[in-house]
Structure 1
Amino acid sequence: MELNTIKPAEGAKHAKRRVGRGIGSGLGKTAGRGHKGQKSRAGGYHKVGFEGGQMPLQRRLPKRGFKSLTLKYNAEITLSDLQGLAGDEIDVSTLKAVGLVPQLAKSVKVILSGKIERKVALKGVNATKGAKAAIEAAGGSVA
């Protein structure tokens, strides 16, 4: 095989359809556009979702739901995650370094899931009411 003998696969290339080039082509006169109407005109078409003046489907249906833009900056960890961590003082940068929360996280909250039996001091990390009670019961603190 040489560079000057390389060809595309059989059937991969085909001639462009030439419309409006006489009756013998099968696409002469109206060039496959039919007679009259908006779709037959040059530059004439409608926007996506247009239903001929009828109220479009996306406007007939009710708006629903909400996607918070701040969601990616919030993270949560469990009590069992805290139990497995080394060190007594825990802050957001510690959690990022260990990989428990994403690097984008700005606020972290501890939720009541699992058990904690060691003393930990949380700095700049929030906790739910139940999680705070469990941490303080184990001798830790939430600041």
Structure 2
Amino acid sequence: MALHHLKPAPGSRRRSERLGLGEGSGGGQTATRGQKGQRSRSGDGKMSGFEGGQTLLIRRTPKRGFTNGPFKLTYQVVSLFDIERVFKNQRDVSPDGLKIHGLIKGGKPVKILADGDLTQAYKISAHAFSKSAVEKIQKAGGAAQVLSAKPKPAVEAPKAEAKKAPKAAPKKG
């Protein structure tokens, strides 16, 4: 059996009601929305947290603390077990190779953790390693190379030149 031969169980999927198709359909004219009012209009709805005009709870409560969310450095973790399983015939392991083999997605730096054992010597380059991972890599005869966590720009941005103020036009008169 293939996926394109599968069908849902009878009665498990109900057809969506088609509204606004004339009075005879049972859902015509107002399309079951009633006569007038906010909820009958297109794009109806209130913003989340709306309390009927009263000041919202989120605005009544004070701000607290600090969040560093957008600037926080988060790693994609890869275990030695995964490296041993995927890179059987290769000795060099890099973030590009990890991405090709589907162990990571692009964009974030990579950290190697010591889950599992190595039977072969690998030269692993990543942005961070756990201490025990470095010990296991070196014990197997391999090497751990630390890459910089934040990639440097390929080309330096040109520096803006100071603009000279335009000369004032002579006054008439």
TM-score, with normalisation over the residues of structure 1?
Answer: 0.58
Aligned to 1:17: 35
Q: Tell me, in whole angstroms, the C-alpha distance in 2 between the residues paired with 1:114 and 1:71.
A: 28
Q: Tell me, in whole angstroms, the C-alpha distance in 2 between the residues paired with 1:95 and 1:57.
A: 46
Point out the structure with max Rg over C-alpha: 1
Q: Tell me, in whole angstroms, the C-alpha distance in 2 between the residues paired with 1:18 and 1:97.
A: 57
Percent identical residues: 17
Report how many aligned residue pairs link the two structures: 107
Q: Tell me, in whole angstroms, the C-alpha distance in 2 between the residues paired with 1:128 and 1:50.
A: 53
Change beyond 3 A, Cα 1:71–1:98: farther
Does the aligned pair in 2 maintain the 1:78–1:110 contact within 8 Å? yes
Change beyond 3 A, Cα 1:111–1:65: farther
Letter in 2 for 1:115: D
Aligned to 2:144: 142
1:74-107 CA-partner distances (Å, limit 9, x unpaired): 31100101111131111111111111111333x1
Greater relative contact order (Cα < 8 A, sep 6+):
1
The root-mean-square deviation of aligned C-alpha atoms, in Å, is 3.4
Q: Tell me, in whole angstroms, the C-alpha distance in 2 between the residues paired with 1:72 and 1:11.
A: 56
Aligned to 2:69: 68
Aligned to 1:104: 107
TM-score, with normalisation over the residues of structure 2?
Answer: 0.49
Q: Tell me, in whole angstroms, the C-alpha distance in 2 between the residues paired with 1:142 and 1:18.
A: 69
Does the aligned pair in 1 maintain the 2:91–2:121 contact within 8 Å? yes
Q: Which runs of 5+ in 2 are unaligned?
A: 1-20, 38-48, 146-173
1:57 maps to 2:57: yes
Aligned to 1:93: 96
Letter in 2 for 1:97: I
Aligned to 1:120: 122
Q: Tell me, in whole angstroms, the C-alpha distance in 1 between the residues paired with 2:115 and 2:128.
A: 15
Q: Which runs of 5+ in 1 are unaligned?
A: 1-6, 20-46
Q: Tell me, in whole angstroms, the C-alpha distance in 2 between the residues paired with 1:132 and 1:122.
A: 10
Q: Tell me, in whole angstroms, the C-alpha distance in 1 between the residues paired with 2:107 and 2:62.
A: 35
Q: How does 1:10-49 map to 2 (within 5 A)?
A: 10-15=25-30, 17=35, 48-49=50-51
Shift of 1:117: 1.9
Shift of 1:48: 3.0
Shift of 1:60: 2.4
Letter in 2 for 1:57: L
